[in-house]
Chains A and B, each alone.
Chain A
C-alpha cells in the first residue's frame, strides 16, 4: 500500500520504466493501481533501434508484474517521509 501511495504522488511526472525483457520506456505517469500496473503517456523507448515495433506507440498500459525497475524523479520523493512511513507500516503489520 505504501509504495502504491508513492506512485500516486508521482502522477504527471516523468518516469522511466524498465521491463523484464530489457525494454526501457520513458513517459509521463498517468495512473497506477494496487497491482502497480502503470499507465504512461507520451512514451519514448530508450533503444528505438532495437525495438522498432514500439515506434508508433504513443501511450501504454504496463502490467505490474513485467516491471523490473522504475526510475523516479529524485525531487518527487521525500526520503525521510518514506522511511518513517515504512517503519509505521511495519509496526501496524506486526500488531496483526
Chain B
C-alpha cells in the first residue's frame, strides 16, 4: 500500500493503527502499550491488553544521583482521556 496516498492528515496514521498494538506516551512520565480499538478527535483512546509503565524519579537529598524506579501494571480494557496524551505511535514494522 502506498502510505503517502493513504495518509493525508495526522489522524490517518492513528486510523491505520486500529486493532494494532500501539505505544502511547502520556503526561506524568507514563507510557502505555495496548491494542487500539477506538479514538476520537480529542485523542481519547480505548485500548485493550494494556501495559502501563510509570517512571518514578526519586531525588535523594545529599546525593547527586537520581534514582529511576519503574512501575508496571496490566489492565484488560482501558479508556484513556485525550488531554493526557502526548503521542501515539504505531507498531514498529
Are A70 and B37 neighbours in the complex by a CB distance under 8 Å?
no
A93 to chain B, nearest CB (A): 7
Contact partner of B77 (CB less than 8 A), chosen from A7, A73, A86, is A73
Q: Which of B47-78 contact A (CB under 8 A)?
A: 48, 75-78
Q: Which of B1-32 contact A (CB under 8 A)?
A: 9, 11, 15, 18-19, 28
A27 to chain B, nearest CB (A): 15
Which secondary structure dominates chain A's binding surface?
Answer: helix
Q: Give every chain B residue within 8 A of A77 (Cβ-Cβ).
A: 37, 46, 48, 77
Query: Can you identify 23 A-B contacts, CB atoms within 8 angstroms?
Result: A3-B44, A3-B46, A6-B46, A20-B84, A36-B81, A67-B81, A69-B81, A70-B78, A71-B75, A72-B76, A72-B77, A72-B78, A74-B76, A74-B77, A79-B19, A82-B38, A82-B46, A85-B38, A86-B15, A86-B18, A87-B15, A87-B18, A90-B15
